[in-house]
Structure formats: structure tokens, C-alpha cells
């Protein structure tokens, strides 16, 4: 048995054959700690993720505290106006250097008082003058790469990462052609959901609407068209996108025709973030793995200021209900995967092309990682 087979729990040739035949990943990949560790190190530690709204970094000293899977991160606006990102871990004994989104002129570990300038350099370590050969320049915070798009800050734990748009050259043309830009929308709230399922289950659920007519009959499927002949999928590069118009036969969530009528626009970018928008509400999504069988979903919610207040409250509730229904669905799904009694699922590629595409991206990363194990 090769190292690759040992790590993956199956022969790579068999896995590729199963994926080519429209099957899902092995069920054990949705609960196995060994697979989870591979994903943390070889997927999340080297890819782009949404960190939070740019408006939280308007002033020098502002900072965003966020999480990319197992990696705590802090992004700051330095005194010279530049954005810097760091692993949120003190170089002394791993206490965080920031615990909240606030405004201060330094970053400080409150465990022993090590203090850092906003460029990450160590300003002071109490009693360091007593330590022979202690060189503060050797203990700067570990950097991460920071970028922005529109109203959002993006982070990549890899300090040598190429810019977001260079990594995802298909992104800008797609958001432009599909009118997804958050321009003019006003930030209102953050929604957080604790999801009782593996992060891949949540991604798979988010990137297909095959389940919408049943799970979201009185929520998303009332507001938007979910018919297979109308609902559109676009899979390209590291992106999986969905587009659909408003439902003209809506009974509860009826679009009020405020503006361009572009309908629902959704663009997911590998491996765990997305932007979603319609003519009334827009939100980002960040999926944070928290264990082999759990994840956290964080949405930053925006509304268009021209909307009637009661209408937009109802419209946000439609999305909140949709996400709650999704969370309940995947929580019931996870025990079936954990049982491993059905070794593979069978995809419906005509309706779930995005899941097959996602599996291809995951498999590319895992097969490469396992080969290095």
C-alpha cells in the first residue's frame, strides 16, 4: 500500500474513476481527521478568503480579527494608511495579539505584554533587556497576504501569494458582466451560523439549487425561479456561480421592482467564500472549518438604501430562513456520511455540475498533498 493510498483511504485511481462516473467523494472524507488535516494545510493555508467589510478598516489603527480554518488572522490599517495582515499569534507563547475588532495604535498580547507596531514589528517585550542576545527584529508577527475587492478585505495565509485577481482571472469579468458589485449598498449586520456538518457538505449545499424546490419551498424558491431550465450555473477557474431571475409567481416574497431586475447573483470562489446579491440585499459568505464534522458560516449583510424598510426586513428574513433550512438539512445529512454505510453518493450532473466541479478542485489539492506525505 502506497503512502498516498494510506492517507486517502482508497486507491487514487479508484477515486478518479468514481468521480468520473458521477459519484461523490468517499463518505469517510466528510468525517476523517486525516483528510481534515490535509485540507487545513494544503487547501486553506494557501488560498484566498473573505476577512470582512473594508469599512471596518477606514481609519489608522482599525483592525479586523478573523479566522481562516485553523489560522487566526488580524488585518490592520497602519498609521501610513497601508493594510497589513498577520497571523494573530504572539511570537512569545502563542497568545493572540488582538481579540476584537477595535482601534488602537499598537497590537499587544495581554498575556505577557509583548507589543507590536502596526507593521508587525516587535516594539517591546517586557524584560527583554535581561536576555542576552535578544533581537527584537527577529520576532515580528508572521505576515499573511492582504488584498481587497469592492467593499471587502481578502486574506491569504501564504505570505508569498499572488494577488486575488491574478489567482482568479475569471472573477472580475464575471462580476462585471453579471452586475455583482455591492456599489451603493449599506452594511447592516453580521449573521453567524454554527453548522453541524463538514465544511465540504456546506459548500456542496451552497453551490447547487437542486434541493431548492423541496428544502426552500416557502423561502428562496418563493422569491426566485428554481426551475432547471431557468436556473443557470457557471463553473470556471476557481469559481462556481449561480444566476436566476425573480419568481413572478411568488406568494410571499414578491420583488418590488426597485432597480435593474438582475435577479439573484452568486459567485463562490475556491475554497470557502462567496458573494451573493440581488436588487435589495447583498451579502458575503465565509465558511470556516472548525472540526472534521463542523464548520462556522459568517455572512456580512448589506441592503440597498432605496428599499422600503419593512420590505427589506422581510427580504432579509427570507435569506435568514433559507440559511437556517440549509443548516438543518446538512445537520441531518452528516450522520449518514459518518456511518460510511453508503460509500459514495451519486451526483445528478445536469443539476449538480457545481458539486462535481468542486470535487475536482478538492481532489486536485488532496492528491497533490497526499503525494507529498
> Could you report the per-residue pLDDT of 128-175, keeping only the tens digit for each?
999 999 999 999 999 999 999 999 999 999 999 999 999 999 999 999
% of the chain residues with pLDDT over 90: 91
CA 133 → CA 40, 128, 130, 139, 244, distances in Å? Answer: 35, 9, 9, 13, 63
Widest distance between CA atoms in the chain = 76
Hey, how many other C-beta atoms are within 10 angstroms of the C-beta on 105?
10
Please tell me the CATH superfamily of domain 49-161, with its number. Answer: Rieske [2Fe-2S] iron-sulphur domain (2.102.10.10)
Q: Beta-strand (E) ranges in the chain?
A: 49-53, 63-68, 71-77, 83-87, 107-108, 115-116, 122-124, 143-149, 152-156, 186-195, 232-236, 239-244, 264-269, 273-277, 281-291, 294-303
> Could you report the per-residue pLDDT of 287-327, keeping only the tens digit for each?
999 999 999 999 999 999 888 899 999 999 999 999 999 99
3-state DSSP call for residue 307? Answer: coil
Q: What is the pLDDT of residue 6?
A: 81
- Mean pLDDT score, 232-241: 98
Q: Give exposure, 75-85, as e/b (b: 16+ Cβ within 10 Å).
A: bbbbeeeebbb
Q: What is the pLDDT of residue 258?
A: 64
| Residue of higher predicted confidence among 369 and 242 | 242
Residue 7 confidence (pLDDT) above 90? no
3-state DSSP call for residue 207? Answer: coil
Spatial contact of 68 and 44, defined as CB atoms under 8 Å apart:
yes
Distance separating the N- and C-terminal Cα atoms of the chain = 14
Residue 1 confidence (pLDDT) above 60? no
CA 23 to mean position of chain CA atoms: 25
Task: Say how many residues make up the chain.
Answer: 373
- Mean pLDDT score, 336-360: 95
Give me 210's grid cell: 437542486
Q: What is the pLDDT of residue 2?
A: 62
Q: What angle do CA 351, 354, 355 make, to 5 degrees?
A: 90
| Residue of higher predicted confidence among 202 and 261 | 202
Q: What is the pLDDT of residue 323?
A: 97
Sequence-distant (≥ 6) Cβ neighbours of residue 5 within 8 angstroms: 11, 12
> Could you report the per-residue pLDDT of 89-137, keeping only the tens digit for each?
999 999 999 999 899 999 999 999 999 999 999 999 999 999 999 999 9
Q: Would you list the domain boundaries of the chain?
A: 49-161, 168-361
Q: What is the pLDDT of residue 369?
A: 77
3-state DSSP call for residue 227? Answer: coil
Please tell me the CATH superfamily of domain 168-361, with its number. Answer: Naphthalene 1,2-dioxygenase Alpha Subunit; Chain A, domain 1 (3.90.380.10)
Of 258-267, 293-302, 364-373, which gets the smallest average pLDDT? 364-373
CA distance 69 to 203: 14
CA distance 273 to 43: 13
- Mean pLDDT score, 337-364: 96
CA 206 → CA 193, 212, 297, 352, distances in Å? Answer: 14, 10, 11, 11
CA distance 92 to 95: 8
168-361 matches 49-161 in CATH topology: no
Q: What is the pLDDT of residue 4?
A: 76
pTM of the model: 0.95
Q: What is the pLDDT of residue 259?
A: 57
Amino acid at each position: 500500500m502506497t503512502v498516498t493510498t494510506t492517507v486517502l483511504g482508497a486507491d487514487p485511481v479508484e477515486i478518479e474513476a468514481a468521480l468520473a462516473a458521477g459519484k461523490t467523494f468517499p463518505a469517510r472524507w466528510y468525517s476523517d481527521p486525516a483528510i481534515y488535516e490535509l485540507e487545513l494545510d494544503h487547501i486553506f493555508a494557501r488560498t484566498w478568503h473573505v476577512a470582512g467589510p473594508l469599512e471596518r478598516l477606514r481609519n489608522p489603527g482599525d483592525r479586523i480579527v478573523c479566522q481562516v480554518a485553523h489560522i487566526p488572522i488580524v488585518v490592520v490599517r497602519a498609521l501610513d494608511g497601508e493594510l497589513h495582515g498577520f497571523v494573530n499569534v504572539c511570537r512569545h507563547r502563542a497568545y493572540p495579539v488582538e481579540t476584537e475588532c477595535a482601534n488602537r495604535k499598537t497590537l499587544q498580547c495581554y498575556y505577557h505584554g509583548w507589543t507590536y507596531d502596526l507593521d508587525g514589528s516587535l516594539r517591546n517585550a517586557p524584560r527583554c533587556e535581561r536576555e542576552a542576545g535578544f533581537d527584537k527584529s527577529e520576532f515580528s508577527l508572521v505576515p499573511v497576504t492582504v488584498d481587497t475587492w469592492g467593499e471587502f478585505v481578502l486574506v491569504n495565509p501564504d505570505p508569498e501569494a499572488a494577488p486575488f485577481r491574478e489567482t482568479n482571472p475569471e472573477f472580475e469579468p464575471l462580476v462585471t458582466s453579471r452586475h455583482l458589485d455591492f456599489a451603493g449598498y449599506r452594511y447592516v449586520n453580521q449573521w453567524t451560523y454554527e453548522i453541524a456538518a463538514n465544511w465540504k457538505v456546506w459548500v456542496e449545499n451552497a453551490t447547487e439549487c437542486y434541493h431548492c424546490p423541496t428544502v426552500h419551498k416557502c423561502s428562496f424558491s418563493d422569491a426566485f425561479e428554481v426551475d432547471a431550465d431557468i436556473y443557470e450555473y457557471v463553473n470556471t477557474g476557481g469559481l462556481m456561480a449561480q444566476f436566476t431571475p425573480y419568481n413572478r409567481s411568488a406568494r410571499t416574497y414578491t420583488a418590488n421592482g426597485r432597480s435593474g431586475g438582475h435577479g439573484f447573483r452568486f459567485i463562490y470562489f475556491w475554497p470557502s467564500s462567496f458573494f451573493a446579491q440581488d436588487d435589495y440585499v447583498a451579502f458575503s459568505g465565509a465558511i470556516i472549518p472548525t472540526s472534521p464534522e463542523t464548520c462556522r458560516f459568517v455572512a456580512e449583510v448589506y441592503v440597498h438604501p432605496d428599499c422600503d424598510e419593512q420590505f427589506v426586513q422581510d427580504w432579509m428574513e427570507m435569506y435568514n430562513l433559507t440559511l437556517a433550512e440549509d443548516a438543518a438539512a446538512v445537520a441531518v445529512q452528516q450522520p449518514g456520511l459518518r456511518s460510511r454505510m453508503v460509500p459514495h453518493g451519486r451526483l445528478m450532473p445536469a443539476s449538480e455540475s457545481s458539486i462535481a466541479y468542486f470535487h475536482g478542485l478538492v481532489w486536485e489539492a488532496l492528491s497533490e498533498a497526499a503525494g507529498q506525505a
